[in-house]
């Protein structure tokens, strides 16, 4: 990785982690709007460094701010949340590589929302049960994450990616 890529990964990781910690009340539980996830579509603009950044930022943010009351449960959230962000970001990057335009960015962001919702919604169901005694059906857990992911990744994240790409093209 070039030093510029390392710096971009570090910047994205720090920003993601800070947003998760500061916005902790809306970043966790079954019905969440994780505004830090608005950074995921930047992977369609800058690729691998952003995928690394949102993954590391998720690990740090989830570890520091998770409401599970247990180190082992917080580690589950940190590890699997990071994997979700990495897989989602790389998938969106591969989609966006097929060409330019807002349509591909929307498709890429929608794929990110689906990937994050399936992975996070699946393990979140168990975290809620183990930590809080909430037995939420799996489909509601996934849909709860999906609703917030559509807001943060698609509705907020795509315009952020378009604006950043337009104003900072040299980072490519």
* pLDDT tens by residue, 31-78: 999 999 999 999 999 999 999 999 999 999 999 999 999 999 999 999
Measured distance CA(94)–CA(92) in Å, rounded: 5
The pTM is what?
A: 0.95
For 132, the token pair is: 């809080």
| Domains of the chain with bracketed CATH | 3-171 (1.10.1760.20)
Measured distance CA(145)–CA(172) in Å, rounded: 31
State what percent of residues in the chain have pLDDT above 70: 98
N- to C-terminal Cα separation, the chain: 13
CB 172 within 8 A of CB 45: yes
Mean pLDDT, to the nearest integer, of 128-132? 97
Confidence of residue 1 (pLDDT cuts 50, 70, 90): confident
Mean pLDDT, to the nearest integer, of 99-125? 96
Tens of pLDDT, residue by residue over 19-33, are 999 999 999 999 999
Decide if pLDDT at 151 tops 60.
yes
CB 31 within 8 A of CB 79: no
Supply the pLDDT for residue 172: 57
Supply the pLDDT for residue 116: 99
CA 164, 156, 141, 135 dihedral sign is positive
For 88, the token pair is: 């989602």
Measured distance CA(124)–CA(168) in Å, rounded: 36
For 37, the token pair is: 């996830």
The total of other beta-carbon atoms located within 10 Å of residue 139's CB is 10
């Amino acid at each position: 990785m070039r030093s510029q890529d390392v710096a971009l990964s570090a910047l994205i990781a720090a920003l993601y982690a800070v947003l998760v910690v500061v916005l902790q009340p809306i970043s966790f539980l079954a019905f969440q709007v994780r505004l830090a996830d608005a950074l995921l579509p930047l992977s369609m603009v800058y690729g691998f460094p952003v995928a690394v950044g949102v993954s590391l930022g998720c690990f740090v943010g989830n570890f520091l701010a998770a409401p599970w009351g247990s180190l082992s449960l917080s580690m589950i959230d940190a590890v699997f949340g990071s994997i979700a962000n990495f897989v989602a970001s790389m998938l969106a990057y591969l989609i966006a590589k097929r060409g330019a335009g807002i349509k591909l960015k929307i498709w890429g962001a929608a794929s990110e929302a689906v990937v994050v919702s399936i992975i996070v919604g699946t393990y979140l169901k168990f975290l809620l049960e183990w930590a809080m005694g909430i037995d939420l059906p799996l489909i509601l857990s996934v849909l709860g994450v999906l609703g917030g992911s559509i807001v943060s990744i698609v509705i907020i994240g795509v315009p952020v990616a378009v604006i950043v790409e337009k104003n900072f093209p040299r980072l490519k």
